Structure 1
């Protein structure tokens, strides 16, 4: 879901292959040390996907909680910013253009090398370098310069007063002495990183697991959980099976599988509120999905409430755009009703007439297109099938296909995708990448190649203003334009459900973005976990 690096998943195996390889995740590894679930000082959790890289210079951990690294700032349980590698929140100039950070003394990277201001300057300058393949570099567009001031301060000067800039500084800091001596895009640091965080990567078996040990010299205090393993189990059913077998201490699961772990089984189901949405891309370069009438009809034909009740079993809410309805950024009045007669009327008026088989035709073109979803992801599959069913009632044929991202990505220009996105930090963080026409076709950014000048102007106005009222008005414009010209059909906002062992009581979650993984879920603060008494 610039390419949204967290959505660039590693090649996915079929469910059977996953089941065969999954057992290896619980066997002793890493020099004979057991990574099995149940040990007092170890945790094994199941994740649905894995990152493509572990280098923050290429986009890894940009939203914080990477476990290997720290940013200047981090988020607490309530998603409020607090200091990490900085000693305090930044000092901001009256014009909103200068941010000064004072760095925490005595911090070292896990290899023993001292952390310095040079590492901060190196990290941000490298990301902004045109030669660096960071798919999210446009998120730092406001940065004009970053310089060291003395030995313990870093000063950012912005090109315009970018209101959410402090949120961007949760971005992990990379060590200049290592990452700066090799090819930033292909060097060994991309898979064998060194950071200042609470955990040290000991092994990454691609497609199988990531193994970590506690950093005994962590500036925040040595973690009680000494071994932390993320088992990569793409298939939802396989993940649930391994959890039930006791091979995992916790895992993320879709609602229909999470509900199977009731009380009395030694496990607890935790729900994390999120900004995570599922939507259908409507490629502008397709003769059917590129037609405005078809887009508007599909937006009214879908029964979002039925998807929430049936697919999510109530663990979510209808989505009418990238902003959840309970967010202060949501624009009241942009809710779309489920109105099949209105959808049919739009298509009739545009000349899309029902054919003998009920599928509409105009100028010899059948109202038919392919919708891809990722293999093994039951939530996406169920959303895709429900969308196809609703579309057919309006006379539009949607052919659903499953595949890996490697299969899907080359087809995104002309074929629809059951996609996802969402960020709770600030509307700019998701909407700019999702809707800006300049990013159409740029990896997983603007997958539909949506092109709306009014939206482009509003996104730029919101990004360049420090005035909340101006920004709110701009995002209101974006949401209203999506009603008139829906380049995507937003379906649901999803609560993330996690099943965790009762031997880890008192666990919490944060409000989560779409790209959940190593640093999300109940293990967002695993370095603070304490054993049950």
Structure 2
């Protein structure tokens, strides 16, 4: 599953802030000509190594995968000459590399670099956050310098989606621990940009790769400044420091119809949801989890918190996954039925309206990451709806690390989701095999054998009709026994100076920093005359 339920991983580019913030019009000559851009980023990546989990769905700017995605999310060749295909039994996928491709240091791309990249992700000694995405992969080999063969343990229909992972040069890791390699902050790739500087905690600068196999970018310098706080980012955008940034809808709306700016609203499969701790006495009962889902008014959140920029969520399968989305797998807003289910589960209201069972008060702490204004507002709205059911729901600002530490005792507002395939959207999030594992997989410790069976069938079948039935079964089984309160699918909102052409709209995943945001194809932008 392509999930970063924690921080949004953002590739940032740094340089001289004077390029973009000496004046509201962008400062120096290169900024005025549109050859540079300054982006305000909501968070900073821990590293820039694809092996460790950086930008696994492509658009990584410094790296290329074997495949990339076009504006409609269709896979297209990148480092591979053609989109790789599978053998008749689905167990072997073969890729032929584009001839003559070079890394930014001038060395030639080899099939052995691809083998090293994928084997390193699977190495138990590697601290990769994406190893679970490659569970089906048994081995990777290179019959020759331009051919790569991937051998699977079982058929896995969406395997080609995983081949957007950036490829790294094997020689950069000779005698070096992948987990602590200098490469992780000063990488070498085949992509349209190179990392010129990274001042951690502040900013990073990317410079155009003039020898890029896809053609040198017209935007020569990309400076991304890391500003976690939404309000601070909005203030600095208003002060003229940035050429573009992502903002919550209500803050972004200040730029509606403002001369010289574009307000961009991109659809996404990026959800926000409340992971319910399945081992807490209160929420261990499926009736209570269903009651909370019925008691939450999702449309009210969209209208108020999101200023209309979103869609209701019931499962991690987005409406943008149109071929797989089950229209009937939804939760209506029904507080009366929620109250009945809570009564049935033995959590009854006292004279003060507060519920308890056998002397134990109904209590569900709601956690959210402190710098995130949008998650704060969603946490407050959700907790308010839960409190109306008679459940004490105190809201606490904290960190992602603490949210993981308290996953057995508190609910947390997480994010994730992608528009590529239902397997990558749901499998590691809800399959019981990941319950109790570390990191951003099955954080609610959810277990349901019917859900497991449907997800396994959808993952292993090569027949489209069988897969569609499996994911319909999954969504129906999940909504009968929910493990989360999926709240909304966001529309991502951006403010952008109107200085470039070439932007194309693309449905976005959760990971939408520099890699999948409005500037996902920045290397193809051209400055306006």
Match of 2:393 in 1: 398
SS in 2 for 1:461: helix
SS in 1 for 2:228: coil
Give me the TM-score of the superposition, normalised by structure 1.
Answer: 0.93
How far the C-alpha of 1:406 sits from its partner, in A, is: 3.0
Where in structure 2 are there 5+ consecutive unaligned residues? Answer: 21-26
2:296 and 2:139 map into 1 onto residues whose CA distance is: 46
Match of 2:507 among 493, 506, 511: 511
SS in 1 for 2:269: coil
Contact 2:3/2:425 (8 A) holds in 1: no
Match of 1:220 among 214, 223, 242: 214
Match of 2:70 among 65, 72, 76: 76
Mapped pair 1:114 → 2:108: yes
Alignment map for 1:155-170 (pairs within 5 Å) = 155-170=149-164
Q: Which region of structure 1 is more displaced relative to structure 2, 174-183 or 91-100?
A: 91-100
2:452 and 2:130 map into 1 onto residues whose CA distance is: 18
SS in 1 for 2:337: helix
Alignment map for 1:448-463 (pairs within 5 Å) = 448-463=444-459
Change over 3 Å in CA distance of 1:334–1:38 after alignment to 2: same
Alignment map for 1:53-452 (pairs within 5 Å) = 53-325=47-319, 327-441=322-436, 442-452=438-448
Contact 1:161/1:465 (8 A) holds in 2: yes
Contact 1:35/1:42 (8 A) holds in 2: no
Mapped pair 1:26 → 2:21: no
Contact 2:97/2:111 (8 A) holds in 1: yes
Change over 3 Å in CA distance of 1:38–1:485 after alignment to 2: farther
1:379 and 1:438 map into 2 onto residues whose CA distance is: 31
SS in 1 for 2:37: strand
Change over 3 Å in CA distance of 1:311–1:428 after alignment to 2: same
Match of 1:20 in 2: none
Match of 2:473 in 1: 477
How far the C-alpha of 1:516 sits from its partner, in A, is: 1.2
Q: Which region of structure 1 is more displaced relative to structure 2, 487-496 or 84-93?
A: 84-93
| Offset from partner CA, 1:216-266 (integer Å, 9 cap, x none) | 111111111111012111111111111111111111111101111022331
How far the C-alpha of 1:295 sits from its partner, in A, is: 0.7
How far the C-alpha of 1:286 sits from its partner, in A, is: 1.4
Match of 1:16 in 2: none
Match of 1:490 among 477, 486, 499: 486
Q: Structure 1: which 4+ aligned runs deviate by more than 6 Å?
A: 33-36
Contact 2:8/2:513 (8 A) holds in 1: no
Contact 2:329/2:475 (8 A) holds in 1: yes
Where in structure 1 are there 5+ consecutive unaligned residues? Answer: 11-22
Q: Say what the alpha-carbon RMSD is for the aligned residues.
A: 2.1
How far the C-alpha of 1:3 sits from its partner, in A, is: 10
SS in 2 for 1:46: strand
1:506 and 1:195 map into 2 onto residues whose CA distance is: 24
Pairs aligned (count):
517
Match of 2:23 in 1: none
Match of 1:13 in 2: none
How far the C-alpha of 1:92 sits from its partner, in A, is: 2.8
How far the C-alpha of 1:443 sits from its partner, in A, is: 1.0
How far the C-alpha of 1:37 sits from its partner, in A, is: 5.6
SS in 2 for 1:417: strand
2:479 and 2:443 map into 1 onto residues whose CA distance is: 18
Q: Which region of structure 1 is more displaced relative to structure 2, 232-241 or 501-510?
A: 501-510
